Chain A
Amino acid sequence: KQEVTQIPAALSVPEGENLVLNCSFTDSAIYNLQWFRQDPGKGLTSLLLIQSSQREQTSGRLNASLDKSSGRSTLYIAASQPGDSATYLCAVRVSSGNTGKLIFGQGTTLQVKP
């Protein structure tokens, strides 16, 4: 059974710091991994999608890496800003049929202090 874990559960940093959020999964048989951002009381915003054949994806100040064999992904946020404060979720798309089912971690709640 696929399980996704995110560490740390919460993180508080001063503005301007570079930071890394971690995601691990137990079964390496995934199609891809997706990182999301969730603001309080809101839906999920897709940040990055990494296919299982890829090692990393970049979008602006965000860089996500994937090491499928070791079951790990990291989300790197450069020069953090208060507007980055949110909960970050990673999810793996399992390799079963055509459902596109996502298995989510519990998230890392990030606070960037001015």
Chain B
Amino acid sequence: SQTIHQWPATLVQPVGSPLSLECTVEGTSNPNLYWYRQAAGRGLQLLFYSVGIGQISSEVPQNLSASRPQDRQFILSSKKLLLSDSGFYLCAWSVIGGYTEAFFGQGTRLTVV
């Protein structure tokens, strides 16, 4: 069966520090991968998606970047965090093509102080 792992679960970082959140998927090949952010009062927003290794698309301009160094690994990064980067970050995957069910990780609560 397929599983998705996301870590860390919580993170408190000072403004200006770097960020690296990791997500891995097991039990499937060549999935579509996604990073969403859930901010208070704003719902879930798609940040990045990837349809293959090294292929990253950004949905909104921001202080973050994403990379996919391996088929089932998706990384969310920042060189210098802003207060506005605080939120709940969720990784998700779906079968290639993206037309089927999406499955989410347990999320990372990021607080920038």
Give residues in A with beta carbon < 8 Å to B.
Answer: 31-32, 34, 36, 41-46, 49, 89, 91, 93, 98-102, 104-107
Which of chain A's residues has its CB closest to B57's CB? A99
**Could you list 10 further interchain pairs (A-B, Cβ under 8 angstroms) beyond the known A44-B90, A45-B104?**
A43-B106, A43-B107, A44-B92, A46-B102, A46-B103, A93-B102, A99-B57, A100-B49, A100-B97, A100-B100
Which of chain A's residues has its CB closest to B104's CB? A44
Which residues in A have their C-beta under 8 angstroms from that of B57? Answer: 99
Q: State the Cβ distance, B32 to closest chain A Cβ, in Å.
A: 5
Give residues in B with beta carbon < 8 Å to A.
Answer: 6, 32, 34, 36, 43-46, 49, 51, 57, 59, 90, 92, 94, 96-107, 109
Which residues in B have their C-beta under 8 angstroms from that of A32? Answer: 99
8 pairs of A and B residues whose beta carbons are closest in the complex = A100-B98, A44-B104, A104-B44, A43-B106, A43-B104, A43-B107, A49-B101, A106-B43
Which residues in B have their C-beta under 8 angstroms from that of A99? Answer: 32, 49, 51, 57, 98
Which of chain B's residues has its CB closest to A105's CB? B43
Determine chain A's interface SS by DSSP, over half rule.
strand
Given that A31-B99, A43-B104, A46-B102 are contacting pairs, would A101 and B43 also be in contact in the complex, using a CB cutoff of 8 Å?
no
Selected from A42, A101, A107, the residue in CB contact (under 8 A) with B98 is A101
Which of chain B's residues has its CB closest to A102's CB? B102
Selected from A31, A42, A93, the residue in CB contact (under 8 A) with B107 is A42
Bound together, the chains give a CA A32 to CA B98 distance in angstroms of 11
Selected from B44, B51, B97, the residue in CB contact (under 8 A) with A89 is B44
Q: State the Cβ distance, B111 to closest chain A Cβ, in Å.
A: 13
Selected from A36, A44, A45, A100, the residue in CB contact (under 8 A) with B99 is A100
Task: Check B99–A93 contact: CB distance below 8 A.
Answer: yes
Bound together, the chains give a CA A77 to CA B45 distance in angstroms of 26
Q: State the Cβ distance, B101 to closest chain A Cβ, in Å.
A: 5
Task: Check B106–A46 contact: CB distance below 8 A.
Answer: no
Q: State the Cβ distance, B3 to closest chain A Cβ, in Å.
A: 12
Which residues in A have their C-beta under 8 angstroms from that of B96? Answer: 98
Bound together, the chains give a CA A46 to CA B94 distance in angstroms of 12
Selected from B32, B43, B59, B94, the residue in CB contact (under 8 A) with A104 is B43
